[in-house]
Amino acid sequence: MLLANKPWREECGDLERDKLFEEMYRVVYEGEIEQAAQVAGRGLAAGLDPLDCLNLGFMPALERVGEEFGKGEKFLPELVAAGEAMQRALAVVQPHLAAARRDRLTLGRVLLGTVEGDIHEIGKRIVGSLLIAAGFEVVDLGVDVSAATFLDRARELRPSIVGLSALLTTTMVRQKEVIDLFRQAGVRAQIIVGGAPVTASWAEEIGADGYAEDGGSAVALARKLAGGTGS
- The CATH number of residue 22's host domain is 1.10.1240.10
Please tell me whether residues 125 and 181 are part of one structural domain: yes
CA–CA gap between residue 41 and residue 50 (Å, rounded): 10
Range of the domain at 54: 15-100
What is the reported pLDDT for 156? 97
What is the reported pLDDT for 122? 87
Domain-located, residue 9: no
What is the reported pLDDT for 6? 58
- Cβ-based burial of 50 (10 A; exposed 0-12, middle 13-18, buried ≥19): buried
What is the reported pLDDT for 4? 45
What is the reported pLDDT for 1? 43
Q: Is 106 in a helix, a strand, or coil?
A: coil
Domain count, the chain: 2
H-helix segments, 5-112: 15-29, 33-45, 50-52, 59-70, 76-100
pTM: 0.75
The C-alpha angle with vertex 61 and arms to 27 and 82, in degrees rounded to 5, equals: 55
Q: 163: part of which helix (H) or strand (E)?
A: strand 161-165
What is the reported pLDDT for 105? 56
What is the reported pLDDT for 215? 87
Long-range contacts: 168-174, Cβ < 8 Å, 24+? 168/117, 168/118, 168/120, 168/197, 169/197, 170/117, 171/115, 171/116, 171/117, 171/118, 172/197, 172/198, 172/202, 174/115, 174/116, 174/117, 174/118, 174/147
CA 88 to chain centre: 14
User: Left if phi > 0, otherwise alpha if psi is -120 to 50, otherwise beta: which for 48?
Assistant: beta
Please tell me whether residues 94 and 152 are part of one structural domain: no
Of the candidates 157, 178, 145, 152, which has an alpha carbon nearest to the alpha carbon of residue 108?
157
For residue 191, the cross-strand partners are: 162
Domain-located, residue 10: no
What is the reported pLDDT for 38? 97
Spell out the per-residue pLDDT of the chain, length 231, in tens: 455 455 545 555 577 888 999 999 999 999 999 999 999 999 999 999 998 999 899 999 998 998 898 899 999 899 889 989 999 999 999 888 877 666 555 789 999 999 999 999 888 988 998 898 888 999 999 999 999 999 999 999 999 999 999 999 999 999 999 999 999 999 999 999 999 999 999 999 999 999 999 888 999 999 999 884 433
- The CATH number of residue 214's host domain is 3.40.50.280
